[in-house]
Amino acid sequence: MVITLSGRRIDPVNAAVVRFPLEHSAMVRERIRAIMQEHQATALVSSAACGTDLLALSIAGELGIRRRIVLPFPPERFRASSVVDRPGEWEELFDQIIKEVEAAGDLVILNEEREDNTAYLHTNQATIDEAQRLARQAARDTGSAVSSAILAIIVWEGQPRGTDDITAAFASEARARSIPIVEVLTR
């Protein structure tokens, strides 16, 4: 089973709305692990932001699951915009995972120019594209249906934060492609 995943980053300090507080990381981590094990994941495709992405990538590494990372821009730029700007010790984990995934030939960089919602929406689409590519390959190798070889996980508090919500857009894209979705709540 190929899993594609997207979800909330850790909340900023003094967040006006609580979506994914740092103190819920261990709980969310265990929920993601359970799904990966239940579905016998063979690959994980995600981005690498603090919170959801790095938790899932860390679990996948521990379980020996192939990891493919899709970033909108080079790691150094992504680290500054999506990893170290929130509470928690994410930088070292990010650097280690990027190093391992890049060495395995599974780091995809889109080279988006702007840091806006469009770049992250493109990353969502590319993440699902990569997961579908891996699922097609796995289906060919095993003789199974592609639809049974892929699962999308969204990790959030259960509702969009507005019309420009990247996690909700990921879920919509997965639904449009008839990919089953499992939700993991952050609270």
Q: Is the sign of the CA dihedral 30, 48, 16, 125 positive or negative?
A: negative
> Tell me, which fold does domain 2-185 have in CATH?
Rossmann fold (3.40.50)
Give the pLDDT confidence of 70-86 residue by residue, as tens digits. Answer: 999 999 999 999 999 99
Give the pLDDT confidence of 106-120 residue by residue, as tens digits. Answer: 999 999 998 889 999
